[in-house]
Amino acid sequence: MTVDASRGAEAPPELVQLLTPEGERVEHPDYDIDLTPEEVRSLYRDLVLVRRIDLGAVALQRQGELGIWASLLGQEAAQIGSGRALTDSDMAFPTYREHGVAWCRDVDPVKLLGLFRGVNHGGWDPVEHNFHLYTIVIGSQTLHAVGYAMGIQRDGGEGAAIVYFGDGASSQGDVNESFVWASVFNAPVVFFCQNNQWAISEPIEKQSRIPLYRRASGFGFPGLRVDGNDVFACLAVTRKALADARSGQGPTLIEAFTYRMGAHTTTDDPTRYRVASELEAWKLKDPIERVKAYLFKQEMADQEFFDAIDAEAEQLGADVRRRCLEMPDPQPLDIFDHVYREPHALIDEERAQFAAYLEGFEA
């Protein structure tokens, strides 16, 4: 077990930050942002609601209602900040943990739960939401995103692609190949790496000897590290990177320096491989508390506002839970329906075989 000070309370010097953990607004020469009180309140609402959805999903899994869940706890600011930077013409490619980005793309949380409950094979229409399906194969979505971005480039489209991946994924061949392609074709893509310090039980020190964002320079495009628990900074840097991509300036690697507060998934027990003090240090950098402190200090919100958001979160949590439990189980043969867009002889044969097998059971 290794404990690295960079994963603790000390913020590395190269970090782009606009809101400190204490809720103090700080200036940055390259990345500033002007947010109205209404916009800050709206970001706070997003953060609280996605945390509530996530906690509800963990509870559902613990009660046997989901097969598994990958919690976003601690990564709300990275996801809401970057997700709210997207415009309608941008396309997002997530991993399996991007519930906050899904929220920003108006994907009904119940559809996410359906995937983890095993009652659907994806859950939403990627085209309707400009939000690709969740990808479990680590890093493969970076290639999909670069291919999509090159398509935008060739079609003369307006948008950019953004692709999410983790610190562990940065070691994958797919991710490095996608960097090469994005770079040499100057593709309109933003690589958004949430460095949550862990790839299941493997610490970041086992992925890289240098900060991840610096890898970009070896591929020939800019990289930066942002405080991933600072929703203002994540919004600002992602807006800039997307604008650069859309205006023909090519890719950017954003390393959102954050922390996975929960287990890797509900099947994991992080107490077996990481020390409690690390978690305690990161609790002090909570992404929601700092926005709350800022809103209070700036007198942009009062207790009534916070109570109303908490009430809305409870209501949303209850509604999502109820609708999750009401989702019908699929019929076993449904699995063959969406393998290919068009009918396919082999699939028809397999369907018939499976139907015959099922008929062998007593009703």
Ligand X SMILES: Cc1ncc(C[n+]2csc(CCOP(=O)(O)OP(=O)(O)O)c2C)c(N)n1
Q: Which residues bind ligand X (CB under 6 A)?
A: 95, 97, 136-138, 165-169, 196, 198-200, 260, 264
Residue 10, token pair as written in the block: 């000390």
State the residue number with the nearest CB to ligand X. 166
CB of 175 to ligand X, least distance (A): 9
Q: Find the catalytic residue in 28, 273, 323, 351.
A: 273
Q: Is 121 labeled as catalytic in the residue annotation? A: no
Q: Is 323 labeled as catalytic in the residue annotation? A: no
Q: Return d(Cα 140, Cα 242) in angstroms, integer.
A: 21
3-state helix, strand, coil in the chain (%, to 5): 50, 10, 40
Cβ nearer to Mg ion, comparing 90 with 268? 268
Residue 22, token pair as written in the block: 């204490």
Residue matched to tokens 């606009």: 18
Residue 251, token pair as written in the block: 């890719």
Cβ nearer to ligand X, comparing 100 with 188? 100
Whether the CB-CB separation of 43 and 306 falls below 8 Å is answered with no
**What mask, x for binding Mg ion by CB under 5 A, covers residues 169 to 208?**
---------------------------x--x---------
Q: Find the catalytic residue in 264, 274, 290, 321.
A: 264
CB of 183 to Mg ion, least distance (A): 23
Cβ nearer to ligand X, comparing 158 with 269? 269
Give DSSP secondary structure letters for 171-235: GSHHHHHHHHHHHHTT-SEEEEEEE-SEETTEEGGGT-SS-GGGHHHHHTS-EEEEETT-HHHHH
Cβ nearer to ligand X, comparing 244 with 255? 255
Q: Is 46 in the site for Mg ion (CB under 5 A)?
A: no
Q: Which residues here bind Mg ion, judged by CB under 5 A?
A: 166-168, 196, 199
Catalytic site residues? 260, 264, 273
